[in-house]
Amino acid sequence: LANNQSAFIHKLMLEDAPRIKAYKNAIMNRKDLIKDKCVMDVGAGTGILSILCAQAGARKVIAVEASNLAILAEDIVKENNFQNTIQVQHVKVEDLVLQDNEKVDIIVSEWMGFYLLHEGMLDSVIYARDKFLKPEGYLFPESAYISAAFCRLPSLFDNWSDVHGVSMNNFGSQYRKKMYEEPQIMKVLPEQILTKSENVCWLNIKTITLKELQQFSAEFISVAQDEVSIQGLCIWFNCQFPTKPQSDVVELSTSPFDEDTHWKQTVIVLPETKEMEAGEPIAWNLNISKEENQRKYSLELSLIDSDEIEHPLPCECWRTTCILTKKHLESIELSQV
């Protein structure tokens, strides 16, 4: 391992039970796809996914790792007696050359970063897909989506009025402004989520292009179910794997409502609390776009006048037009029963 930080990060990932379980379940549930097939592991790290594929019966696994972790991965492969099945390639996948232009049946990769896209490793998976994957091949995971909902953040907003008998509201305000400048990685509890979640974007890993990864932007209307204090936007992601027909979907979730992962959640902190009444709408736009450094993204949250954008059908907000439209739609449904 290159340094203490690298060792800590990989230890953290190996201890991430939901992460490992999701990949293991996906791989073992699709032994029918993997048995006697050639698999490529992009960004293999310690090689754990490569070994799981070998355990599932892969004929050959090409474990591609650009960092010096590849040296350790070779030792771990030998430790598990798969040196005749797994070939560790110490190279960037973009520089990888396979003998006789070999193609693979499956690409497995744990490419996800914070809020799914941080670090831009999906670019490398797309490169590998386009160059090495057979047309009828499979990707693990095969799809992913980003979700978001407004939340409260007591650790950032509460208790500044009384710090051992001293009011520190001015400090709290300045601190939150700093937090607003870039997304924060933190654990958000289920009870801190205040609105229904919205699906910001959905990625089909089999077909998505580098151009499509440049930017994602969407507008939404969220409605307060009760009187609430909105203090940030909580963002998370889910990944789905190939499953057998009529079988339950194997999914890796980083939702605050599911088991904790090392990704936690990503939060855009509001500079000040926004108080909302029950039924009040809040319109917003989330823009996720690549920076000049193509491996990094910027996240921008904009609050919009809720009268300036089209409301969904039906809409739960208190606007007269939305209430009447909802009642009209309900009456149509009843008449069709």
- Does the active-site annotation cover 94? no
Place of tokens 């391992």: 1
**CA nearest neighbour of 188 among 145, 230, 222, 251:** 230
Q: What is the DSSP letter of 248?
A: P
Which residue is catalytic, options 65, 74, 102, 119?
119
What gap in Å lies between CA 279 and CA 223, rounded to an integer? 6
What gap in Å lies between CA 46 and CA 77, rounded to an integer? 9
What gap in Å lies between CA 17 and CA 101, rounded to an integer? 36
The 10 Å CB-count burial string (b at 16+, else e) for 99-132 is: eeeeebbbbbbbbbbbbbbbebbbbbbbbbbeeb
Which residue is catalytic, options 65, 74, 110, 316?
110
- Does the active-site annotation cover 277? no
What are the structure tokens assigned to 191, written together?
């009870």
3-state helix, strand, coil in the chain (%, to 5): 30, 30, 40
Query: What residues are annotated to the active site?
Result: 110, 119
